[in-house]
Amino acid sequence: MKKIFVVLAILFIGILLAGCTSQPAAKPVATTVPTPVPTTVVTTVPPTPVPTTKEIVVVVVNKTVNVTATPTPTKTPLPTFVITFTQDLTIIPGTSATIPVGGSVTWVNADPYKEHTVVATDASDGAWFAGQTEATIPAGKSMVITFPKVGTYEYTTVYQPNMDGVIRVK
């Protein structure tokens, strides 16, 4: 047992010596505080949605073959002959006119003071004054008569003495 004490004592001393040895102290762990980094907040606007359009393509197939265009006749206005009553009791260019079927005669009263009257010589021709044998044109006004059929229409005026006229429709 003595031997055990000796062994234990040696162990005890060895442990003591092991704990008393001077070793450099461990360096403390440095705790570093990070320097704050300035941050910039970037706000981004979400993109605006762009409306999409859908295109519809329509294909028209013309199945008509060898079509010949037919020209549409244009109506050209028929000539109008103008007879003018003046203030000095003259008629310009005269009392007679020749016009085509469907043409018209315009009697203009350029006299600012009095009316002028046109009277059909033959009562049967009176229909061309809208069913009357005479037509009165007020001062400064005019009258238009269209002649739809071939014929000779004789007339006289009231304020021009013995001024006879004839409208020939061919």
**pLDDT band, very low/low/confident/very high, at 139 (cuts 50, 70, 90):** very high
Q: Is the pTM of this model over 0.85?
A: no
* Cα gap 22→49, rounded to integer Å: 75
Kindly state the greatest CA–CA separation across the chain. Answer: 187
Query: What pLDDT does residue 138 have?
Result: 93
- Nearest in space to 154 (alpha carbons), one of 144, 146, 166: 166
Task: List pLDDT tens digits, range 18-75.
Answer: 665 555 555 655 566 656 666 666 666 666 666 666 667 666 666 665 656 666 666 6
Burial category of 70 from C-beta neighbours within 10 Å (exposed 0-12, middle 13-18, buried 19 and up): exposed
**pLDDT band, very low/low/confident/very high, at 82 (cuts 50, 70, 90):** very high
Q: Which amino acid is at 21?
A: T
- Of the two residues 76 and 1, the one the predictor is more confident about is 1
Phi (first) and psi of residue 99, to 5 degrees: -135, 160
State yes or no: pLDDT of 90 exceeds 70: yes
All structural domains of the chain: 80-169 (2.60.40.420)
